[in-house]
Amino acid sequence: MSTVTKERIAPESAPLPSGPAAAAILAAGIGSAFYGLLVCLAEFPAVAKAFTLSKGVGPLSGKTTFGMLGFLAAWAVLASMWKGKEVNIDKVWKVSLVLIALGIVFTFPPFFLLWAPE
């Protein structure tokens, strides 16, 4: 009876799928943009009231809590979708960079104050 032996591949040389990294990178963009959007939406009084999870902190408590939960949720969903898969990192990074830029613009007072009702 012949014995078949498998060649052991050193862990460091085995290729790593790009999916988990792509998930994290895109989640950063989605999280930043989503959080920024919440900052803009909180200029509406009804939304500001709903976002006031802490009276002392005010609407910022909800903007940041829901924003960060959005970031983590996006990461969890993408990580689950792309686990073990190969994903185009270049495309993902370009999209994420645009979303991060949007998040920064949305959190800039001259921009988000435009959303305040007259």
Partner 1 sequence: MHVSAIDAWTLLHGMTFGALFLLAFTGVFAGLYSLRPELVTAEGVKERLQRLKLGTWVMAAVAWLTVITGTYIPYIPYRAKTPASPRSFLLSNPQTALWHKFGMEWKEHVAWIAPILATVVAYLVYYYGKRLVGEEKIRRIAMVMFTISFVCAAVAGLFGALITKAAPLK
DSSP structural state of residue 12: G
Which amino acid, one-letter code, is at 103? G
Instruction: Give the nearer residue to partner 1 in terms of CB position, either 4 or 109.
Output: 109
Min CB(39)–partner 1 separation in Å: 5
Min CB(46)–partner 1 separation in Å: 20
Instruction: Give the nearer residue to partner 1 in terms of CB position, either 50 or 58.
Output: 58
Give the span between the Cα atoms of 79 and 75, in whole angstroms: 6
User: In angstroms, what CA-CA distances link 43 with 2, 60, 111?
Assistant: 74, 11, 11
Min CB(3)–partner 1 separation in Å: 32
Residues at the contact surface with partner 1, assessed by CB under 8 A: 12, 16, 20-21, 24-25, 27-28, 31-32, 35-36, 39, 54, 56-58, 60-61, 63-64, 67-68, 71, 89-90, 93, 97, 100, 103-104, 107-110, 112-113
Give the span between the Cα atoms of 64 and 17, in whole angstroms: 32
H or E stretch including 29?
Answer: helix 19-41
Instruction: Give the nearer residue to partner 1 in terms of CB position, either 3 or 76.
Output: 76
